[in-house]
Copies of this chain bind each other. A is one copy, B any other.
Amino acid sequence: MRVRLYGLVFFLSLSAGLVPVHHASAQDWTADFSAAPYRDAANRLIAAALADSAAYERLAELGDRFGHRLSGSVALEKALDWMLAEMQADGLDNVRADPVLVPHWVRGNESLTMTVPWNRDLPMLALGGSVGTPAGGIRAQVMVVSSFDELRARAEEASGRIVLYNVPWEGYNTIYRRTGATEASRLGAVASLMRSLGPYSQQTPHTGGMAYQEGAPRIPHAAITPEDADLLERMVDRGQRVELHLEMEAQTLPDTWSRNVMAEIVGRERPEEIVVLGGHIDSWDVGQGMMDDGGGVVAAWEAVRLMKELGLRPRRTVRVVAWTNEENGLRGANAYVEQHRDEVDNHVLAMESDGGVFKPYGFGFSGSDAAFSVMEKVGALLESIEAARVTRGGGGADIGPLMQLGVPGMGLSVDGTRYFWYHHTDADTIDKLDPVELAQCVATMAVHAYVAAEMPNRLPR
């Protein structure tokens, strides 16, 4: 497939009067590449992004009008309808929606109560993909462990218990979320709970994806707050018998339809060559999904809108994509590659923001040394907003399938100090973001995307 497409590129490039530069000859021009010719356009993009709080207002509108947007939800599809209409109103080219079949997990009502030794409701969130409890719930004694090792060492205690993984935060390690239910179920546990993944909490449970492995009954799996995980551990350590009552209506419904929404500025010389940038429009079913990842979608969208507004139509096509279903399926990212397979080799660069639209430092880049040296120079155009850094390594879940097929990938790099304070919680709301920082993210994405689409030679792989 790649060979055939390269042939097509070659033919089209020849028709456009240009000789395409491929791997072999990349060194020829990249060493001499200078970003200086793009400084004026870059400065115009930066100034336009920082001129107002348009991006922040658009993001707030997304969050306020539709709230969170889990795959399968009405809110997600309404948000996509709104995006399509807005992108048309922005005057972007080729506004379109590609259908994507997505999982449809629903939370339903849920509650967790400590019933022994005294009564207290514990804030909780079922983990995405979990089964529910039987009607009337599950009542059982809690068994607190700090690791799978401890669980196995005390295996004979697990039967009939609700296992709580109270694993202190040491970065975003999702193993207990993803496999904790099966590991506990194998030893006879009737449900499993985990300490929410995050460094800071105000009684804030976090959700996120989980899955079941074969060979053990599917038991309900949910997250409680770090505060309550510690509380239960202290009580058990004092010799108290702690019993919990868990009720969850969580269930997985048949797959349903969502969409990848996209729009373009069609390239003036090489419309078939594409710089794609975006984020995922779906979120978990909590908060407003503003940093995970409404902000990424809006930053990319605004970057493209600003090019349009400034009359900057680069040589290549710039395409913004709102991928659907990143959180519990990655179906949008995979469908994009399937549905645009004949364009993949013409994807010059794929860019994503999915780490929160906080103060940007620049980008992390994955690709060849030659391409890296070019994008490093592009980064220097962002020195005025201290976002010039381009480092080795980076990408994102939504552009992952493209990167696997050889497309150079870039992930926006930001000050993530507080990202996991909010991630997958009700606290992922617009007020946690700063309009100026978001505008800087827009500028950073816009400059890299514009220059990658405008440079005479195609970025080498």
Interface of A toward B, CB cutoff 8 Å: 60-61, 64-65, 67, 118, 120, 123, 201-204, 226-227, 230-231, 234-235, 238, 287, 421-422, 425-427, 429-431
Complex Cα gap A203–B202 (Å) = 8
Complex Cα gap A300–B414 (Å) = 45
Please list 5 pairs of residues, one from A and one from B, whose beta carbons are closer than 8 Å in the complex, sorted by A's number: A64-B231, A64-B234, A67-B120, A203-B204, A227-B431
A-B pairs, 9 with minimum CB distance: A202-B427, A202-B202, A203-B426, A202-B204, A227-B429, A227-B431, A203-B427, A230-B431, A64-B234
- Select the residue from A120, A203, A421 with max chain B CB neighbours within 10 A: A203
Complex Cα gap A430–B275 (Å) = 51
Q: List 11 other contacts, CB 8 Å, given A123-B426, A202-B425.
A: A64-B231, A64-B234, A64-B235, A67-B118, A201-B202, A202-B421, A202-B422, A202-B426, A203-B287, A203-B425, A203-B429
Distance between A78 CB and nearest chain B CB, rounded to angstroms: 9
- Chain B residues near A231 (CB-CB < 8 A): 64, 429
Complex Cα gap A425–B231 (Å) = 17
- Chain B residues near A429 (CB-CB < 8 A): 203, 227, 231
Residue of B nearest to A226 (CB): B431
Distance between A396 CB and nearest chain B CB, rounded to angstroms: 25
- Chain B residues near A421 (CB-CB < 8 A): 202
Residue of B nearest to A204 (CB): B202
- Select the residue from A65, A202, A421 with max chain B CB neighbours within 10 A: A202
- Select the residue from A201, A231, A238 with max chain B CB neighbours within 10 A: A231
Complex Cα gap A105–B426 (Å) = 29
Distance between A364 CB and nearest chain B CB, rounded to angstroms: 28
- Chain B residues near A427 (CB-CB < 8 A): 201-203, 227
- Chain B residues near A431 (CB-CB < 8 A): 226-227, 230
- Chain B residues near A425 (CB-CB < 8 A): 202-203
Complex Cα gap A179–B426 (Å) = 30
Distance between A202 CB and nearest chain B CB, rounded to angstroms: 4
Complex Cα gap A429–B200 (Å) = 13
Distance between A223 CB and nearest chain B CB, rounded to angstroms: 15
Residue of B nearest to A74 (CB): B118
Distance between A418 CB and nearest chain B CB, rounded to angstroms: 10
Complex Cα gap A425–B426 (Å) = 16
Residue of B nearest to A198 (CB): B202
Distance between A409 CB and nearest chain B CB, rounded to angstroms: 32
Residue of B nearest to A78 (CB): B118
Complex Cα gap A202–B61 (Å) = 20
Complex Cα gap A431–B227 (Å) = 7
Distance between A63 CB and nearest chain B CB, rounded to angstroms: 8
Residue of B nearest to A286 (CB): B203
- Chain B residues near A61 (CB-CB < 8 A): 238
Complex Cα gap A216–B235 (Å) = 48
- Chain B residues near A422 (CB-CB < 8 A): 202
- Chain B residues near A235 (CB-CB < 8 A): 64
Residue of B nearest to A421 (CB): B202
- Chain B residues near A64 (CB-CB < 8 A): 231, 234-235, 238
Q: Of B60, B118, B123, B201, which contacts A234 at CB under 8 A?
A: B60
